[in-house]
Amino acid sequence: MRKNGVGGGAAAPHRPHFSGLFLCKHEVPEGNILMTNQEIAQIFYELADMLEVKGENRFRINAYRKAADQIASHPRSIADVAAEEKLQDIPGIGKGIAGSITEILETGQLDDHRKLRQEIPAGVTTLLSIPDVGPKTAKLIWESLGLKTIDEVEFAAQTGQLQKLKGLGPKTEQNILAGIERLRARQAEPTRVLLGDALPLAERLLAYLREHPAVQRADAAGSLRRRTSTVGDIDLLAASDDPRSVTDFFVELPEVGRVHIHGDTKATVISHTGLQVDLYVLSPEQYGSLLQHFTGSKQHNIEFREIALAQGLSFSEHGFKREDGSLITCETEEAVYGTLGLPWIPPEIREAQGEFATARDGRLPQLIEVSDVRGDLQMHSTWSDGRAELGEMARAARDKGYAYIAITDHSQGLGIVQGLTPERVREQRAEIDQLNVELAPFRVLAGIEVEIRVDGSLALPNDVLEALDIVLASVHSGMRQDRETMTHRVVTAMHHPHVDIIAHPTGRLINQRERLNLNFDAVLQAAQETGAILEINASAERLDLDGEHARAAIEAGVLLSLGTDAHSVGGLDAMPLGVAMARRGWAEAKHVINTRPLDDVLELLNRTD
């Protein structure tokens, strides 16, 4: 788990930067400044960092961080929420922070933040991004040596100045130097790792651990288990009666580049690929509490422990402690939640977004499972930019157990690939018809991923689209349009009579390209009006919609579809990632059209045979 992951109170000075997705000029009340959720959140993160360096009340600091998390992950524009005077409906936002948000929206800044910034140079809070440098160390270095940048701290460490400070020694000085090196490596290779890349590495490491004779169980936890789109590190857990032998074994694995921490029950290593991997080991009878604790999220755990405290129980990874000091251990997570009278809560929704209240009321959703998915509704073949023949894709999908798929090659109008012309759509249809004879009862739907042109019109004529079984529409070019234009463009396409699904609706490519500048509320409204379906694109670099957007869609009564967007046979394996996003969005099978039998899907699309 990365810095400030589960349970921590430490700073996380740098947050991934989001696009201006949630901002819409014409919705902001007169006189307000254009601010994205991320920009607003950033002010509170910085405020928290500065207060921490000052040594202020840690609960106040945590309140700002919690509010910033809520703001950053809110699926709607905070400016819109503010305009509706609903800010205090958001958990963690009370009168004070609501007032601060209003001030930020009106003036573009926060006076408390501005004043503190005069007191504490911006550079000092950036020192918090160095591993092993927290607020106390940053303050010490700044006040005693006057250092304000990472470069200055690096030089001071190289020249032995840091170890002269009270409380620091030569080891710490070396750790800070190594930390700066790690930070630089991260910045050169900036990104968080894709869920789809981290999962295989975690599985390899787990396979080693499970072979160790003293290991009874091993699982991934943390954000990987919650299936966030990207992860900052990998958290692994093991059950063993001899934990030390397991951490000893772990730090010697071939994947390990460097050992950072190596204790009796925990070890932290850096893999050769630069990813941090943490291992925690406890006895089998404590495995349930270990799993719960390290799955997080941090805020979920805090709420969980508050509920425990209200029942006179203190909870940690070791189990529940009664007030008399006696321990209740839990071998399973079901027992952990059950001890507080709660049903087991799926990891994907442990984000402190209302899951406890829902669980208490017995209203937890029956989340969609991979096995619910009967067909894959987006994939490509050599007819456009895919690497496998249409027949190979179909047979591979059939062999995965699907009842149907949609072949959705690109249309003309997409410059970089050989998109289908009306003529070639008809040729492809003949091949699909032939395949359907061969593969029956498995069914290949003749589909298309048609370009939404810059004005919202589609790149194929109506009669061509009408003859297809399913039409996906998406934006691949002209992506820099302003918010109003882009929103109008997508909404116009949704109103097209032959468009069934908007593919990868927000257009993000994780770590590569920001989301489209789109008013998502307006997209949801258009979906309500037209019945258009929004895709959850399962390819690892898209995962679009993500959980937050999927949940907003479901709450708006909008239907979803799942497609891998596979461009090869191997690409079909991405479906569990898409299902994970759906689960993070609290989706049940009924919310996703391709959990339904083919006839029901065709009826929904008004294309019954």
Query: Which lies closer to DNA via its Cβ, residue 318 or residue 453?
Result: 318
Query: Which lies closer to DNA via its Cβ, residue 317 or residue 348?
Result: 317
Q: Which residue has the tokens 């959140």?
A: 41
Q: How far is the CB of 430 from DNA (least distance, A)?
A: 56
Q: How far is the CB of 337 from DNA (least distance, A)?
A: 16
Q: Does 350 bind DNA (CB under 7 A)?
A: no
Structure tokens at 541: 């670099």
Q: How far is the CB of 434 from DNA (least distance, A)?
A: 55
Structure tokens at 101: 């948000």
Which of the stretches 304-312, 330-338, 395-403, 492-500 binds DNA when contact is defined by CB under 7 A?
304-312
Query: Which lies closer to DNA via its Cβ, residue 333 or residue 535?
Result: 333
* Rounded CA separation 269/476 (Å): 40
How many binding residues for DNA (CB under 7 A)?
A: 74
DSSP 550-583: HHHHHHTT--EEEE--BSSTGGGGGHHHHHHHHH
Query: Which lies closer to DNA via its Cβ, residue 317 or residue 333?
Result: 317
- For 93, what's the count of Cα atoms within 13 Å in the CB-facing half-sphere? 24
* DSSP secondary structure letter of residue 7: S
Residue 580, amino acid? A
* Rounded CA separation 343/363 (Å): 10
* Chain residues 231-250 in contact with DNA, contact rule CB under 7 A: 233, 235
Alpha-carbon distances, residue 190 vs 10, 15, 176, 508, 549 (angstroms): 21, 12, 20, 17, 25
Q: How far is the CB of 88 from DNA (least distance, A)?
A: 6
* Chain residues 113-172 in contact with DNA, contact rule CB under 7 A: 128, 130-138, 163, 166-172
Q: How far is the CB of 301 from DNA (least distance, A)?
A: 5
CB 368 within 8 A of CB 587: yes
Among 4, 102, 332, 481, binds DNA (CB under 7 A): 4
Q: Does 278 bind DNA (CB under 7 A)?
A: yes
Query: Which lies closer to DNA via its Cβ, residue 278 or residue 372?
Result: 278
Query: Which lies closer to DNA via its Cβ, residue 307 or residue 532?
Result: 307
* Rounded CA separation 420/427 (Å): 10
Among 222, 346, 386, 563, binds DNA (CB under 7 A): 222
* Rounded CA separation 249/498 (Å): 59
Which of the stretches 26-34, 148-156, 296-304, 367-375 binds DNA when contact is defined by CB under 7 A?
296-304
Which of the stretches 78-86, 95-103, 469-477, 555-563 binds DNA when contact is defined by CB under 7 A?
95-103
Contact map string, positions 305 to 324, toward DNA, x by CB under 7 A = xx-xxx---xxxxx--x---
Among 26, 30, 31, 59, binds DNA (CB under 7 A): 59
Q: How far is the CB of 220 from DNA (least distance, A)?
A: 12
Q: How far is the CB of 34 from DNA (least distance, A)?
A: 23
Query: Which lies closer to DNA via its Cβ, residue 130 or residue 202?
Result: 130
Residue 278, amino acid? D
Start-to-end C-alpha separation, the chain: 51
Classify 134 as helix, strand or coil: coil
Which of the stretches 294-302, 377-385, 389-397, 480-488 binds DNA when contact is defined by CB under 7 A?
294-302
Query: Which lies closer to DNA via its Cβ, residue 265 or residue 525?
Result: 265
Query: Which lies closer to DNA via its Cβ, residue 19 or residue 316?
Result: 316
* Rounded CA separation 254/493 (Å): 51
CA angle, corner 438, sides to 437 and 443, nearest 5?
65
DSSP 216-255: EEEEE-HHHHHT-SEESEEEEEEEES-HHHHHHHHTTSTT
Which of the stretches 57-65, 186-194, 466-474, 584-592 binds DNA when contact is defined by CB under 7 A?
57-65
Q: In sequence order, what are the residues at sequence separation of 6 or more whose Cβ sits closer than 8 angstroms to the Cβ of residue 456?
A: 488, 489, 490, 491, 492, 493
Residue 516 region by backbone torsions, left for phi larger than 0, else alpha for psi between -120 and 50, else beta: beta
Among 18, 22, 45, 64, binds DNA (CB under 7 A): 64
Q: Does 354 bind DNA (CB under 7 A)?
A: no
* Chain residues 510-539 in contact with DNA, contact rule CB under 7 A: none
Q: Does 451 bind DNA (CB under 7 A)?
A: no
* Chain residues 258-277 in contact with DNA, contact rule CB under 7 A: 261-266, 268, 276
**Residues 531-570, buried b or exposed e (16+ Cβ, 10 A)?**
ebbbbbbbbbbbbbbbbbbbbbbbeeebbbbbbbbbbbbe
Q: Does 9 bind DNA (CB under 7 A)?
A: yes
Which of the stretches 63-71, 346-354, 369-377, 543-551 binds DNA when contact is defined by CB under 7 A?
63-71
Q: How far is the CB of 183 from DNA (least distance, A)?
A: 10
Query: Which lies closer to DNA via its Cβ, residue 318 or residue 596?
Result: 318
Query: Which lies closer to DNA via its Cβ, residue 246 or residue 393?
Result: 246
**Which of 453, 391, 380, 368 has its CA nearest to residue 420?**
380
* Chain residues 73-92 in contact with DNA, contact rule CB under 7 A: 88, 91-92
Q: How far is the CB of 199 from DNA (least distance, A)?
A: 18
Q: Does 201 bind DNA (CB under 7 A)?
A: no
Query: Which lies closer to DNA via its Cβ, residue 11 or residue 209?
Result: 11
Structure tokens at 455: 């004005």
CA 53, 54, 57, 62 torsion-angle sign: negative
Structure tokens at 299: 């805020």
CB 337 within 8 A of CB 343: yes
Structure tokens at 118: 């005069």
Query: Which lies closer to DNA via its Cβ, residue 4 or residue 332?
Result: 4
Q: How far is the CB of 250 from DNA (least distance, A)?
A: 12
Q: How far is the CB of 401 from DNA (least distance, A)?
A: 37
Query: Which lies closer to DNA via its Cβ, residue 175 or residue 411?
Result: 175
Q: Does 96 bind DNA (CB under 7 A)?
A: yes
**Residues 157-170, buried b or exposed e (16+ Cβ, 10 A)?**
beeebbeebeebee
Main-chain phi, psi angles of 491, to 5 degrees: -65, -40
